[in-house]
Structure formats: structure tokens, C-alpha cells
């Protein structure tokens, strides 16, 4: 899972790319990069947080009114500067690309690139394969033609080839020197990609494409909607917009975006994340009353911040006091997207401080967005017990996560998923809580789809139900993918 943004503007684009990355920081903390262009590319990449990488001096050096940027959460490749996006190549003309998602058949495509086409891959990430596939479709003498309609047709053929060759999840922004800004999304629409426009005083329009709408209001963009599954969008040098759905399959966006990754003020696939989480809490509270009608807590406390919204509606539905009894240090990153269990456990105590007045001698119900590995949840429960809780109940807004994700969430191995090999009762004992309740899958789907004029046909919930929407992934292939990701982590 990463954050991507592409902007076409009538003004220098670098400051707005920077602001966008700040708004997408929650989607990746390991690295970030920016690329702007006019008649050449200007780049800056670095490891760490956005504010640590870029300076005001960088904004001056990143020339041009068009550019793309990326904030990285590694789900493929290593942790080296060469794996930081955007990536670019110089031929034909100059193409740059930033990608959110994961390619399931990356290894096969990369092998073909190196052994059959004799290309050198500079990174260990799947995004570079996408870049070469895009360039292959444009490596034609007709590429230099100035007829924009003809070029859009040529671009469409290249994207169609990508759709036919690539398995997995991919939302992409790209810039092509002398041509314009490109955005496209895989035919299932697994990873989000939203679009906005801004009207200038002279009647011209600027465009933005991003993983979330978080920066739209601050930058003055209005939401146009989503890049559709299998759609290609192109903004040429003069700001003319071209759109075409190249190939569409069953629309199956990732439901974990609504559970955890997206910021609550985002709107994805015509559905508000905040409203979805309110309904998650409400559905979960209704389930609690059904399963434990005689066990009411004294206080409902969220595991901040992703769970705050669900906990608020959970408490309201039960008629129990809501309290932010765990204070979160906002300068510590998201523990789920840290690279290993040791860092996650260590940072829980750095990140969270229990408030004794809200916990001591009380029956505390903790609301978390999900239980993935269980290590973070167990540490939180231990802290709450140390501060004198009489009893601890634990509820999860998400159903049990039993299967690895190969589409962009860094949980590639079934061995590390606590619900894959333990019953709910065994998980309760491991967490050391008095009662444990998970959200039902049907209730989660209803919570997300309860409002909004969406066109979602089916959610990608492979991590919960084992159904991989972008082709069946056999058990042997799952093992290979998991082993490769574990090896990459070991090199970190």
C-alpha cells in the first residue's frame, strides 16, 4: 500500500506535490519521491518521512507544471533508495511512473524483461516492470506524432497490453515528456485512484489524480469522481482531457481501505470512509448486544486513531461512555506498516499512553480496526491491565484475517496471521482478554455499502475469505510469493 499523486497545473507543481505527499503520509512512511517535468525530468527521492526528505530549496529546483509523487510502504522489493518511486526511463522520449499495488506475476514479467528483451532492471520493485510495459507499447515511430487523438489511441493500445499481461492490483500515475499526464487503474479497480479538477480565473482547468481525496480541499480541487476500473485518463499539454474504459472486469475494490488504510475524511469509490466506520461500529455494537446482552462495559476506548470513529458509534449504540483512554503520540508512525514485529511491539509503548483515570477499576471495552498478527493488540491489553482495568473486552471492526494479501497490503504470509491458525477462543486467550468479538463479513460489507451512489459489484476480501479477485492463486504460488517477501524483509 502506497500513496500516489499526479498533478497537471498551469503553475509550478512541486509545492502542491509536496503538500499532497504530506496528506498521504499515512499510506507510507519508509520513503518518498517527487518528479516534475517540462522538457526534462527533475527528481528528488529519499528515505524517511516526507518532511525529512524535501526542503524549500528542492521546491525551487523541481521545475515544471506537471508531475507525479509517491510515498512508500514496501510490499515488494527492498528498502534501498533505488526502490523509491517515481521511476523513469529516457526512451521513448521520457516516461515516468508511480504505482500503488502489487503485481502477482511480477517474477515472470521481470524474467521476460531481462532474459528475453535484455533489459536491465535498476530496482527490485514491480513498478519498474509496469514502466517498461508502458514504454514498450509506445516504442513506435508514430509516438512522435503531434496528433493528440492519435497518441491517445496509441496509449490505449499500450494500456490494453498491460491489462492482458499483468495480474494483480495497480493504480498508476505517469508523465510523458512532450505529451502529458496519464492515469490508469487495473480492470478490477482493487486499489483506489480518485480524480479532481480546479477551475482557474482564465477558464483553464488543472487536474489531480491521487490515492485519496485528502488534499483536494486544501489545494482547491473539486472531486470529479474515481478513475474507473480499467480506465485510462490522459491530460495533454494544453490541458485537454481524454478518458476511455479500456477493459473492465468485476469492480472489486479492497475493503481493507475502509477498515484501516484510508484517512476518515477520504471518499473512495463514491463512499465516505468516515460514514463507513460509523456503521462498522454500529453493526459491531448490535452484534455485541446479541452475543453478550448481560455484559456491558463501563467505558468504550478506541485504539487510536483509526478506530476512533467506529468506537464512537459503538459506544453510542450501547449507551456507554466513550473515552479516549489511550493517548497517542502523533509523532510515532503507524505500527502496522512498520517492517517487522519487533519494531511494532517496541513502538506500541512509545506511541500509546494509558490514562489511569479512565481505566482503573473499570470494565474496559477496547475497539480496534483489526487484529492482524496479534502482537500489537496483546501489548495494548497488557498496558491496560497494568493501569488497573477490572475486566477487558476486545472487539475488532474487521472480521478475522486468515489469508495473505498479494495486492498491496504487507501481510504476505499466512504463518504470521493469528487467525489463520487459531480459533477465536485461542486468540482471546493469547490476547489475555475476558471477551473477544469480531465483526461478521456480511456486516462489514453492509457497513461500507450502506450509503453512497457506488457501483461496487464485489469487494476484494481475499485476506478474510480467501477469494483472490485477480485470478486464482494456487497454494504453491502463494508459498513462493510469501517466501520472496519474507526474504526481502530480512534484507531490510
User: Which structural domains are found in the chain, ordered by start?
Assistant: 3-249 (3.60.20.10), 275-451 (3.40.50.2020)
pLDDT above 60 (res 489) = no
The reported pLDDT for the residue numbered 477 is: 77
pLDDT above 70 (res 166) = yes
The reported pLDDT for the residue numbered 451 is: 78
Give which of 32, 2, 3 is closest to 215, Cα–Cα: 3
Phi, psi (deg, nearest 5) at residue 283: -60, -40
pLDDT above 80 (res 147) = no
Q: pLDDT (tens digit, 9 = 90+) per residue, 316-355?
A: 999 999 999 999 987 776 655 555 555 555 678 888 999 9
Give the active site residue among 2, 254, 377, 398: 2
The reported pLDDT for the residue numbered 146 is: 62
The reported pLDDT for the residue numbered 410 is: 83
Lowest pLDDT segment from 24-33, 157-166, 428-437, 445-454: 445-454
Q: Return the higher-pLDDT residue of 99 and 80.
A: 99
The reported pLDDT for the residue numbered 487 is: 65
pLDDT above 60 (res 52) = yes
Q: Is 377 a catalytic residue?
A: no
Lowest pLDDT segment from 38-42, 75-79, 198-202: 75-79
The reported pLDDT for the residue numbered 331 is: 77
Q: Answer whether 20's CB lies under 8 Å from 36's CB.
A: no
Number of other residues whose CB lies within 10 A of the CB of residue 423? 10
The average confidence (pLDDT) of the chain is: 92
pLDDT above 90 (res 92) = no
Q: pLDDT (tens digit, 9 = 90+) per residue, 266-296?
A: 999 999 999 999 999 999 999 999 999 999 9
Give which of 180, 167, 168, 178 is closest to 232, Cα–Cα: 180
Q: Answer whether 152's CB lies under 8 Å from 243's CB.
A: no
Q: How far are the Cα atoms of 68, 191, 233 from residue 229, in angstroms, in the given order? A: 20, 9, 11
Phi, psi (deg, nearest 5) at residue 437: -140, 130
pLDDT above 70 (res 182) = yes
pTM, full prediction = 0.93
- Percent pLDDT > 90 in the chain is 80
Amino acid at each position: 500500500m502506497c500513496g500516489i499523486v499526479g498533478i497537471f497545473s498551469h503553475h509550478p507543481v512541486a509545492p502542491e506535490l509536496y503538500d499532497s505527499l504530506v496528506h498521504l503520509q499515512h499510506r507510507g512512511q519508509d520513503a518518498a519521491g517527487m518528479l516534475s517535468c517540462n522538457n526534462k525530468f527533475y527528481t528528488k527521492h529519499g528515505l524517511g518521512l516526507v518532511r525529512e526528505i524535501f526542503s524549500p530549496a528542492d521546491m525551487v529546483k523541481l521545475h515544471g507544471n506537471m508531475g507525479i509523487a509517491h510515498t512508500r510502504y514496501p510490499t515488494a522489493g527492498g528498502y534501498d533508495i533505488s526502490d523509491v518511486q517515481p521511476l523513469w526511463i529516457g526512451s521513448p522520449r521520457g516516461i515516468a511512473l508511480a504505482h500503488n499495488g502489487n503485481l502477482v506475476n511480477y517474477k515472470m514479467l521481470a524474467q521476460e524483461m531481462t532474459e528475453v528483451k535484455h533489459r536491465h532492471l535498476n530496482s527490485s520493485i514491480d513498478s519498474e516492470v509496469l514502466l517498461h510495459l508502458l514504454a514498450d507499447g509506445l516504442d513506435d515511430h508514430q509516438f512522435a506524432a503531434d496528433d493528440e487523438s492519435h497518441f491517445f489511441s496509441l496509449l490505449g493500445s499500450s494500456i490494453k497490453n498491460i491489462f492482458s499481461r499483468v495480474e494483480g492490483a495497480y493504480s498508476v500515475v505517469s508523465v510523458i515528456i512532450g505529451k502529458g499526464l496519464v492515469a490508469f487503474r487495473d480492470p478490477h479497480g482493487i486499489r483506489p485512484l480518485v480524480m479532481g479538477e480546479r477551475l482557474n480565473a482564465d477558464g483553464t482547468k488543472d487536474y489531480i489524480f491521487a490515492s485519496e481525496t485528502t488534499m483536494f480541499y486544501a489545494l482547491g480541487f473539486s472531486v470529479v469522481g474515481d478513475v474507473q476500473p480499467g480506465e485510462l485518463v490522459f491530460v495533454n499539454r494544453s490541458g485537454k482531457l481524454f478518458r476511455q474504459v479500456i477493459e473492465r472486469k468485476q469492480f472489486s475494490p479492497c475493503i481493507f481501505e475502509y477498515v484501516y488504510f484510508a484517512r476518515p475524511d477520504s471518499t473512495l469509490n463514491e463512499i465516505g470512509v468516515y460514514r463507513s466506520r460509523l456503521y462498522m461500529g454500529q453493526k459491531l455494537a448490535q452484534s455485541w448486544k446479541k452475543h453478550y446482552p448481560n455484559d456491558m462495559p463501563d467505558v468504550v476506548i478506541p485504539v487510536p486513531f483509526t478506530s476512533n470513529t467506529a468506537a464512537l458509534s459503538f459506544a453510542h449504540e450501547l449507551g456507554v461512555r466513550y473515552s479516549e483512554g489511550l493517548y497517542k503520540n502523533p509523532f510515532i508512525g503507524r505500527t502496522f506498516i512498520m517492517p517487522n514485529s519487533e519494531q511494532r511491539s517496541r513502538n506500541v509503548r512509545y506511541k500509546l499512553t494509558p490514562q489511569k483515570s479512565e481505566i482503573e477499576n473499570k470494565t474496559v471495552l477496547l475497539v480496534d480496526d483489526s487484529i492482524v498478527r496479534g502482537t500489537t493488540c496483546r501489548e495494548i491489553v497488557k498496558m491496560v491491565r497494568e493501569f488497573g482495568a477490572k475486566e477487558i473486552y476486545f472487539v475488532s471492526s474487521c472480521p478475522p484475517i486468515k489469508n495473505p494479501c498479494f495486492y498491496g497490503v504487507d501481510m504476505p504470509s499466512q504463518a504470521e496471521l493469528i487467525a489463520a491458525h487459531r480459533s477465536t477462543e485461542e486468540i482471546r486467550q493469547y490476547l489475555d482478554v475476558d471477551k473477544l468479538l469480531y465483526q461478521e463479513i456480511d456486516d462489514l460489507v453492509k457497513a461500507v455499502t450502506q450509503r453512497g451512489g457506488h457501483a461496487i459489484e464485489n469487494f476484494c476480501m481475499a485476506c478474510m475469505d480467501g477469494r483472490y479477485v485477480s485470478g486464482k492463486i494456487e497454494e504453491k504460488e502463494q508459498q513462493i510469493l510469501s517466501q520472496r517477501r519474507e526474504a526481502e524483509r530480512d534484507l531490510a
